[in-house]
Amino acid sequence: MTHGAQTILVTGAKGFIGRNLSAHLRRRENVRLLAYDRDNTEAEFCQWASEADVVFHLAGANRPQNAEEFESDNVAMTESLCRVLADAGREPQIVFSSSIQAEFDNPYGRSKRRAENVLREFAASTGAPVAVFRLKNVFGKWCLPNYNSVVATFCHNVAHDLPIQITDPDRELELVHVDDVVAAFLSQMDQPRRYDEGLVTPDPISSHTVALGDLASRIESFRGIRRSLHLPDFSIRFNQQLYATYLAYVDPSCWEYGLDVKCDDRGNLAELLKSSGSGQIFVSRTRPGVTRGNHYHHVKAEKFLVLSGEGVIRLRHIENPEIHEFRVRGADYRVVDIPPGYTHSITNVGATEMITLFWASEIFDPDRPDTFFLPVDLRAAA
C-alpha cells in the first residue's frame, strides 16, 4: 500500500451512489477501501469504522417494505456509527448522503433529518468534520428502475420498448447526475482538514431542472437515433449525462445495429451520425479506378480522411483552372479540408478498395442540397 494511504469506509457500497463512488475510489493509489453493505457483519462494521480516516455514510432506506425500516436503516445505523467512532476515540471525516426530503414532514424525510441531527451532535462534541449533502433526484448508470428514480424507470422502459406513465407532464424535477455527486464527495474529502472543524456546509452540486414530459421526450428520442442518426445537442451537459444513462439500460443484444447502405457501380456509402450543430459523418467504400465527387458547395465545408487504400483528392477554384492535388493513404491518417467554392473529387488510385470517412459541416438537405456538379479537370470535361 502507498505510504500515507487513507482508509476509507463506504457504507451502502453496493447501492447506486455507493457503487459509483467506490469505482472512483478504487482508481486512487493512496486509498484502502472498506466497502460495507447488507451482506457484511456487524463485527466488520465496527472494526472498519474504528479504522476509517474517512467515512462516506451512504447506507439507508428510502422505499422500505415497512416504515419501521426508516428508523433502523437511517437513524439507528447512524447512531451506531457515531457510537462505534466515539468508543474507538476516532474523529474521521464524515460525508453523509442526506436528501432534500429532510425538509419535509414525511417518514423518510423525518428519518433523514434525525440522522443529520445525530451527526451534527457528533461533530459538535468531537470536532470531527461532518459534511451533510441534501441530495436532489440523483440519476445515472446502475440506478435501479421502478424503484426511486424516474430517470432510471423511463430509460429502462424506453430501452425495452415498454410504456412509460406520466400523470403530469408539466411537473418539474431538479436532477443531479451521480458523477457530479461523486465529484462533490471526493472534493469534500480532499479538502485540507482543520482541527475542531465540526459541521461543514458543502458547496451546492450542479443540477438541471426539467419537466417530466420533456424528460420523457428526450429519452424517447434516444431510441430513434439509430434510425434518424440525429444526435441531441451535446453542448448541453445534461443531454450528455442523460444519453449516457439511457445507454446503460440498453440490453447488450441491442448494442450492435446496421446502417442504411446505398450501393452503386462506384461502391457503397453509409451515413453514420448527424447533428444540427455539427453537421454529419458518413463513410464510403470506393472500387479501384473510380472517382467520386466533381462538385462544389457554396456554404458547406467538408473534411476527407482515407482510412484504407490509396486515393488522390483534387480541388479547383470554380473561377480558375489551377488544380490542387493531394495523394493520401489510409496508413498516414492525413485529413484534407474542402473549402466552399472549390469543385473537388477523390479517386481510388490503389489496387484495393478505398475506405473514406467524410465530415460535412451541415446535414444534407435534399430541398437545399448546396451541391453543384462541375468537373475538376476541365480537359476531361472538354
Residues ≥6 apart with Cβ < 8 Å to 219: 151, 154, 155, 158, 242, 246
Q: How far is C-alpha 15 from the geometric centre of its chain's CA atoms?
A: 19
Determine the distance from the C-alpha atom of residue 301 to the mean position of all C-alpha atoms in its chain, rounded to a whole number. Answer: 30
Gap between the Cα atoms of 238 and 234, Å rounded? 8
Rounded CA gap, 343 and 148, in Å? 57
Our answer to whether residue 147 is catalytic in this structure is: no
Residue ranges of the alpha helices (H) in 147-306? 150-159, 178-190, 212-223, 225-228, 237-247
**Cα-based angle 103, 105, 106 (whole degrees, multiple of 5):** 110
Catalytic residue (one of 36, 108, 249, 296): 108
Cell of 108: 423518510
Write out the DSSP string of 294-323: EEE-SS--EEEEEEESEEEEEEEETTS--E
**Residues annotated as catalytic (active site), given as ranges:** 108
